[in-house]
């Protein structure tokens, strides 16, 4: 299966790309920001997901409708017939410029598919949240996370909102089933995030009692540094560092030994929360966000009182750069399940 996504560098487009590339194991064609210039790449594709859009700013109606018109014109001019999935919005019924633009754009794309005898699906996506979104743009949750981390005041209310985690949105689009949503007040979200922030700032893993809390926590974590430094309690016997405190979840702690010069890892996770700690030896821990070429290296010595928290959607490895065996301990928020490993291999 070969697919392409417009708006692939945006919030939803990024996650769509990684889902279809890694979980579905499809070939995902990179169209780039100027996707109309690369429209001929769609000639041998099976599916196009039209995700490009404008969420904020002036002339929001005209800009979104123009995206649909230009896309259809380009497809027809190049004699391309392709199935389309369109990321619409629940706002189609609220008579706003954005909602009306989504509805009209859907009509334009559906007409093209009807004339081309191809399949068209439009998904009225609810309020969506997840990691790597922009504050003051994608979701109020991103704004709350950013403000908490940067000590900026937050104004909130008791309004009810219906939310859907980004990968639940994508799975629903992929399987053509109803969205898995949760309705909750804005204030409840604020207090959950505030508790996460207060705990995590002290090195405490919150009580991730359900899927929504884990998804919300991973969203919050995408705004926080991966590097922690904890207090070292020393006396004439040596020193003690509290590695991790968990408020209550199904957790697993394990350790590994690695010979000099050997690298372990080169994989990433969609949901696991992990913490790495070097006990003896010296390690280089390398991290790269999936879809990016930027790599970050951390040099951690066993004598340091530092740990690394591994962000989701970041491929990572650990290399022994000392002359002796490297001993590391790892904490994970869930017990290993060989039937659902949530582990995808990719070189850093």
Three-state DSSP class for residue 256: strand
Quickly tell me which residue has 């699906």 as its tokens: 121
- Beta-carbon contacts of 238 under 8 Å, excluding residues fewer than 6 positions away, are none
Please name each of the domains of the chain with its CATH number. 1-125 (3.40.50.720), 127-224 (3.40.50.720), 227-345 (2.60.120.10)
Whole-angstrom CA distances from 255 to 124, 277, 278 are 45, 9, 9
- pLDDT at 244 (0 to 100): 84
- pLDDT at 247 (0 to 100): 84
Helices (H), 78-165: 97-116, 140-149
Predicted confidence pLDDT, tens digits, the chain (348 residues)? 999 999 999 999 999 999 999 999 999 999 998 999 999 999 999 999 999 998 877 899 999 999 999 999 999 999 999 999 999 999 998 889 999 999 999 999 999 999 999 999 999 999 999 999 999 988 999 999 999 999 999 999 999 999 999 999 999 999 989 999 999 999 999 999 999 999 999 888 999 889 999 999 999 999 999 998 888 888 887 777 888 888 877 788 999 999 999 999 999 999 999 999 999 999 999 999 999 999 999 999 999 989 999 999 999 999 999 999 999 999 999 888 889 999 999 999
N- to C-terminal Cα distance for the chain? 26
- pLDDT at 231 (0 to 100): 84
- Whole-model pTM? 0.91
- pLDDT at 156 (0 to 100): 95
- Beta-carbon contacts of 283 under 8 Å, excluding residues fewer than 6 positions away, are 258, 299, 300, 318, 319, 320, 321, 322, 326, 328
- pLDDT at 257 (0 to 100): 93
């Amino acid at each position: 299966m070969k697919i392409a996504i417009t708006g692939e560098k945006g919030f939803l487009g990024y996650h769509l790309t990684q889902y279809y590339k890694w979980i579905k194991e499809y070939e995902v064609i990179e169209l780039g920001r100027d996707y109309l210039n690369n429209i001929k790449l769609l000639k041998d594709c099976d599916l196009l997901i039209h995700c490009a859009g404008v969420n904020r700013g002036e002339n929001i109606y005209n800009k979104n409708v123009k995206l649909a018109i230009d896309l259809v014109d380009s497809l027809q001019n190049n004699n391309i017939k392709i199935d389309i999935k369109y990321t619409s919005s629940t706002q189609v019924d609220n008579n706003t410029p954005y909602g009306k633009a989504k509805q009209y754009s859907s009509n334009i794309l559906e007409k093209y598919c009807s004339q081309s005898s191809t399949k068209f699906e439009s998904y009225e996506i609810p309020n969506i949240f997840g990691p790597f979104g922009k504050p003051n743009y994608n979701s109020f949750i991103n704004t709350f996370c950013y403000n908490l981390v940067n000590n900026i005041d937050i104004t909130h209310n008791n309004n009810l909102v219906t939310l859907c985690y980004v990968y639940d949105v994508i799975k629903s689009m992929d399987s053509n089933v109803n969205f898995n949503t949760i309705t909750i007040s804005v204030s409840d979200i604020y207090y959950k995030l505030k508790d996460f922030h207060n705990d995590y700032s002290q090195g405490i893993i919150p009580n991730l009692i359900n899927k929504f809390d884990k998804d919300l926590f991973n969203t919050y974590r995408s705004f926080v540094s991966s590097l922690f430094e904890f207090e070292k309690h020393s006396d004439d016997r040596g020193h003690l560092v509290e590695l991790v405190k968990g408020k209550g979840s199904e957790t697993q702690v394990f350790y590994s030994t690695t010979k000099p010069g050997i690298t372990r890892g080169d994989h990433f996770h969609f949901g696991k929360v992990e913490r790495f700690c070097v006990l003896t030896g010296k390690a280089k821990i390398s991290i790269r966000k999936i879809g990016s070429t930027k790599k970050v290296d951390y040099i951690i010595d066993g004598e340091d009182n530092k740990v690394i928290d591994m962000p989701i959607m970041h491929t990572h490895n650990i290399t022994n750069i000392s002359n002796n065996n490297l001993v590391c301990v790892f904490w994970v928020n869930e017990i290993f399940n060989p039937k659902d490993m949530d582990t995808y291999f990719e070189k850093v």
